[in-house]
Amino acid sequence: MHQADALLTSTLESWLPDAAVNQNEATEAYRQFHRYGQHPSVIRSGRVVTGVTHEDGTRKFLLRHLDGRETESVIMPIEGRSGRVRQTLCLSSQVGCAMGCTFCQTATMGRVRNLTTAEIVAQWHHATHELEAQITNLVFMGMGEPMDNLDAVLCAIEVLTDHNAASIPPSRIGVSTVGHADGIRRFTEFMQREGMHQLRLAVSINAPNDTIRSEIMPVNRAVPMDMLRETLIEWIQAGGRPVLLEYVLIPTVNDTTAHAEELATWVGDLPCRLNIIPYNPILDSPWPAPQEGDVTQFIEVANAAGLVVNRRQTRGRNVMAACGQLSTASRRNR
């Protein structure tokens, strides 16, 4: 049985305890619940949105799960090259995170627990049906390391791409990792399945060399940059789309013109795009946000060195909804 079909069957059994309901009726209930947000035969989960904050069109919402644990998710309006505005939902895969990146607020929580497939999909469901957002794109870039909870993440992708459920095209789904080599290889295998070839892979690189990367990202001590690059080459050779390299630009850490040139040397001929993310200060941060002139200069040098560069627009920084700022523990403390 296809994994999505197995997941559908098990989900329907839990939602529809009446064994007399036939498969067609159950499938229709499943479809109606996802497409319209409710169905009389479906048992409500009890998860609730307990808070929403806004800034510049960006919405961050707090979702309380059945055990009382909470996750933050972000709805971001992003204008494409054509001028069309798409609503991107930034999904969390864990409560907290164990990766320990020094520039990330979520890391201050540690890993509390993994989210289940249902808890991941529930973020889309509440964003769509409770907050009435027309979600067109999904990125696993919220709380947690997706490759550290890959079984649930892959099952969630099955549901979110299912035409009976969210029906999001795989080409509009991206999974971001700090550089979990084994996870990238598993994701590469998954990407090769029928219908999944257009999935996107993003990697938080954030440094031009092992010395700096190991200081701000402990994962680099286990997976140095050369090893990470090998896994990205495997992704490309297996038919994967060009990799999105995410680079959080941190003042005095990784933001000089020499760093840009060194990064370009490491990238070499790897098919990729570089996404520059101006650092968003976390609570008690040792670093400020970068100056706009420094961001521009870094991008210009990276471009001149042959890299294809995008600049991530800063959204939601003042309400702790920007990249690297999610943390329910800090929210409660505030």
Q: Say what the pLDDT of residue 114 is.
A: 97
Query: What letter does residue 325 receive in the DSSP assignment?
Result: -
Q: Say what the pLDDT of residue 83 is.
A: 77
Query: What letter does residue 203 receive in the DSSP assignment?
Result: E
Contact by Cβ (8 Å): 325, 86: no
Q: Say what the pLDDT of residue 325 is.
A: 45
pLDDT in tens, 32-44: 888 888 777 666 6
Q: Say what the pLDDT of residue 132 is.
A: 93
Those residues with Cβ within 8 angstroms of residue 170's Cβ, 6 or more apart along the chain or in another chain: 157, 161, 195, 196, 197, 198, 199
DSSP string, 52-118: EEEETTEEEEEEE-TTS-EEEEEEEEEE-TTS-EEEEEE---EEE-SS--TT-SGGGG-EEEEPPHH
Q: Say what the pLDDT of residue 334 is.
A: 41
Residue 20 has a CB neighbour count (10 Å cut-off) of 6
Q: Say what the pLDDT of residue 254 is.
A: 97
Q: Report which of 333, 213, 220, 208 is spatially closest to residue 282, judged by C-alpha positions.
A: 333
Average pLDDT over residues 304-316: 82
- Is the pLDDT confidence value at 139 over 70? yes
Whole-number percent of the chain with pLDDT over 90: 70
Q: Say what the pLDDT of residue 87 is.
A: 94
Query: What letter does residue 308 receive in the DSSP assignment?
Result: -
Give the pLDDT band (50/70/90) at residue 330. very low
> Higher pLDDT residue, 116 or 282?
116
C-alpha count within 13 angstroms, C-beta hemisphere, residue 289 = 14
Whole-number percent of the chain with pLDDT over 70: 86
Residue 233, classed as helix, strand or coil, is helix
Q: Say what the pLDDT of residue 147 is.
A: 97
pLDDT in tens, 173-190: 999 999 999 999 999 999
Residue 267 has a CB neighbour count (10 Å cut-off) of 22
Q: Say what the pLDDT of residue 19 is.
A: 45
Q: Say what the pLDDT of residue 331 is.
A: 44
- Is the pLDDT confidence value at 326 over 90? no
Active-site choice (90, 101, 155, 323): 323
Q: Say what the pLDDT of residue 17 is.
A: 47
Average pLDDT score, the chain: 87
How far is the CA of 299 from the CAs of 81, 210, 249, 294, 314, in angstroms?
A: 18, 21, 10, 9, 15
Q: Say what the pLDDT of residue 15 is.
A: 47
Token readout for 71 is 């996750």
Is 104 a catalytic site residue? no
Domain boundaries, the chain: 1-44, 50-333
| CATH 3.20.20.70 fits domain 50-333 | yes
Q: Say what the pLDDT of residue 30 is.
A: 82
Residue 275, classed as helix, strand or coil, is strand
Q: Report which of 139, 224, 144, 236 is spatially closest to residue 185, judged by C-alpha positions.
A: 236
CA distance 237 to 269: 13
Which of 1-5, 52-56, 113-117 shows the lowest per-residue confidence on average (mean pLDDT)? 1-5
Average pLDDT over residues 211-231: 97
Which of 95-104, 137-146, 255-264, 309-318 shows the lowest per-residue confidence on average (mean pLDDT)? 309-318
Look at the alpha carbons of 220, 223, 226, 231 in this order and tell me if their dihedral is positive or negative: negative
Question: CB-based burial of residue 83 (10 Å sphere; 0-12 exposed, 13-18 middle, 19+ buried)?
Answer: exposed
CA distance 321 to 330: 12
